[in-house]
Amino acid sequence: MLDPMLQRIASDPNYHELRTRRLRFGWLLTIAMMIVYYGFILLVAFGKQTLATPIGSGVMTWGIPLGFGVILFTIIVTAIYVMRANREYDDLTDRIKREALK
């Protein structure tokens, strides 16, 4: 069915490693992002008082650093994925390509 090159890639252990590693890491971070975001939304829905509680004696509430925290978290997880992918996944991909095109 498959042409020989695709067949070679499909049975290359490097390819399977790339696929499982990337999928696992991608889903892990996706789930983390969803927990953080929907957790924040549920806190807004059910924990208005908590978010509006002042941190110290001033006007600063827990809600503001938490909101900024969600923004920073979003940027940081994206950066983590991209840095790891650009280092690790591309090396694996190059190895797979070299094998396949031999």
Partner 1 sequence: MTAFPTIGRILGLSTLISLPSAVLAAGALEGEVARQPTNWTAIGMFAVFVVLTLFITKWAAGRTKSAADFYTAGGGITGFQNGLAIAGDYMSAASFLGISAAVMASGFDGLIYSIGFLVGWPILTFLMAERLRNLGKFTFADVAAFRFEQTPVRMFAAISTLVVVAFYLIAQMVGAGQLIKLLFGLEYWVAVVIVGALMMIYVLFGGMTATTWVQIIKACLLLGGASFMALMVMSAYGFSFERLFAESVRIKTDIATGAGQAPEEAATAGRSIMGPGNFVKDPISAISFGMALMFGTAGLPHILMRFFTVPSAKEARKSVMWATVWIGYFYMLTFIIGFGAITFVLTNPGFLEGGVLGAPLIGGNNMAAVHLANAVGGNVFLGFMSAVAFATILAVVAGLTLSGASAVSHDIYATVIRKGHADSAAELRVSRITVLALGVVAVLLGIAFEKQNIAFMVSLAFAVAASANFPVLFLSLLWGGMTTRGAVIGGFLGLISSVVLTVLSPSVWEATLGNEVGSAPFPYTSPALFSMTLAFLGIWLFSVTDKSRRSQIDKAGYVPQQIRSETGIGAAAASAH
> How many Å apart are CA 4 and CA 12, to the nearest integer?
12
Strand-pairing partners, residue 61, are: 54
Say if residues 99 and 8 touch (Cβ distance below 8 Å).
Answer: yes
Q: Which is nearer to partner 1, 13 or 46 (CB)?
A: 46
Told to check if 99 binds partner 1 by CB under 8 A, we report: no
Q: Give which of 88, 96, 91, 94 is closest to 12, Cα–Cα.
A: 96
> Taking the complex as a whole, how short is the minimal distance between the CB of residue 64 and partner 1, in angstroms?
7
Identify the three-state secondary structure at position 52: coil
* Candidate list 11, 35, 72, 91; residue touching partner 1; CB under 8 A: 72
Beta bridge partners of 54: 61
Where does this chain bind partner 1 (CB under 8 A)?
1-2, 5-6, 9-10, 15, 18-19, 22, 25-27, 29-30, 33, 37-38, 40-42, 44-46, 48-49, 51-54, 58-61, 63-64, 67-68, 70-72, 74-75, 77-79, 81-82, 85-86, 90, 93, 96-97, 100
